[in-house]
Chains A and B, each alone.
Chain A
Amino acid sequence: MTDVRLDGRASDGGPGALLPSARPVRFLTDAGAAARPRPRYPAPGPDLLRRAYRAMVVGRRFDAQATALTKQGRLAVYPSSHGQEACQVGAVLALDDGDWLFPTYRESVALVTRGIDPAEALSLLRGDAHCGYDPHRYRVAPQCTPLATQTVHAAGLAYAEQRKGTGRVALACVGDGGTSEGDFHEALNFAAVFKAPAVFFVQNNEYAISVPLERQTAAPSLAYKGVGYGIRSERVDGNDPVAVLAVLAAAVEHARSGNGPFLVEAHTYRLESHTNADDATRYRADSEPEEWRRRDPIARLEAYLRRRGHLTDEDVAAAAAEAEDLAARTRAALNADPHPAPLDLFEHVYGTPTPQLDEQRAFLRDELEAEEVQS
Chain B
Amino acid sequence: MTGPEPVSVTMAQAINAALGDAISADERVLVFGEDVGALGGVFRVTDGLAAKFGDDRCFDTPLAEAGITGFAVGMAMGGFRPVIEMQFDAFAYPAFEQIASHVAKMRNRTRGRVELPIVIRIPYGGGIGSVEHHCDSSEGYYAHTPGLKVVTPATVDDAYSLLREAIDDPDPVIFMEPKKLYWSKKDVALPARTAPFGRSEVRRPGADATLVAYGPSVPVALEAAEAAAAEGWDLEVVDLRTVVPFDDGGVAASVRKTGRCVVISEAAGFAGVGAEVAARVQERCFHSLAAPVLRVTGFDIPYPPPMLERHHLPGVDRILDALDRLQRDDEPDTRYLDLDGAA
Contact = CB atoms under 8 A, between A and B. Distances in A.
Interface of A: 76-77, 123-130, 145-147, 177-178, 180-183, 208-211, 215-217, 277-278, 282-283, 338, 340, 342, 344-346, 349, 354-360, 362-364, 367
A146 B67 CA distance: 15
Contacts of B42: 209, 277-278
B308 A340 contact: yes
B34 A182 contact: no
Contact of A363 (B38, B132, B306, B335): B335
A240 to B, nearest CB: 26
Given A146-B133, A181-B64, A282 B40 contact: yes
Interface in B287-301: 299-301
B39 A210 contact: yes
Nearest to B134: A145
Contacts of B60: 210-211, 215
B231 to A, nearest CB: 16
Nearest to A337: B307
A309 to B, nearest CB: 45
B95 to A, nearest CB: 10
B63 A216 contact: yes
B286 interface: no
Contacts of B317: 367
Most chain B CB within 10 A, of A124, A178, A182, is at A182
A180 B301 contact: no
8 contacts: A77-B131, A145-B133, A210-B60, A340-B308, A345-B299, A345-B308, A367-B317, A367-B321
Contacts of B93: 146
B300 A349 contact: yes
Contacts of B90: 146
Interface in B29-82: 34-35, 37-40, 42, 60-67
A355 B343 contact: yes
Contacts of A178: 63
The 8 closest A-B pairs by CB, nearest first: A210-B39, A127-B306, A180-B62, A177-B63, A283-B38, A342-B311, A180-B63, A180-B64
Nearest to B47: A282
Most chain A CB within 10 A, of B61, B62, B312, B317, is at B62
B328 to A, nearest CB: 20
B308 A145 contact: no
A193 B290 CA distance: 63
B339 interface: yes
Contacts, number: 119
A129 B309 CA distance: 11
Contact of A182 (B38, B67, B270, B339): B67
A340 B305 contact: yes
Contact of A211 (B63, B67, B134, B299): B63
A76 B42 CA distance: 16
Given A211-B60, A363-B335, A344 B35 contact: no
B129 interface: yes
A346 B307 contact: no
Given A76-B130, A209-B39, A362-B339, A345 B311 contact: yes
A346 B34 contact: no
Given A127-B305, A340-B307, A356-B270, A147 B63 contact: yes
B6 interface: no
A282 B129 contact: no
A283 B39 contact: yes
B332 interface: no
B180 to A, nearest CB: 15
Contacts of A209: 34-35, 39, 42
A126 B131 CA distance: 8
Given A76-B131, A125-B131, 7 more contacts: A130-B305, A145-B131, A209-B42, A210-B38, A340-B308, A356-B270, A357-B301
A210 B37 contact: yes
A182 B270 CA distance: 31
Contacts of B343: 355, 358
B304 interface: yes
B63 A282 contact: no
A338 B307 contact: yes
B75 to A, nearest CB: 17
B62 A346 contact: no
B91 interface: yes
B278 to A, nearest CB: 15
B302 A182 contact: no
Contacts of B91: 146-147
Contact of B62 (A124, A215, A349): A215
A217 B132 contact: no
Contacts of A182: 64, 66-67, 94
Contacts of A130: 131-132, 302, 305
Given A127-B307, A216-B62, A282 B39 contact: yes
Given A147-B63, A182-B64, A182-B67, A349 B302 contact: yes
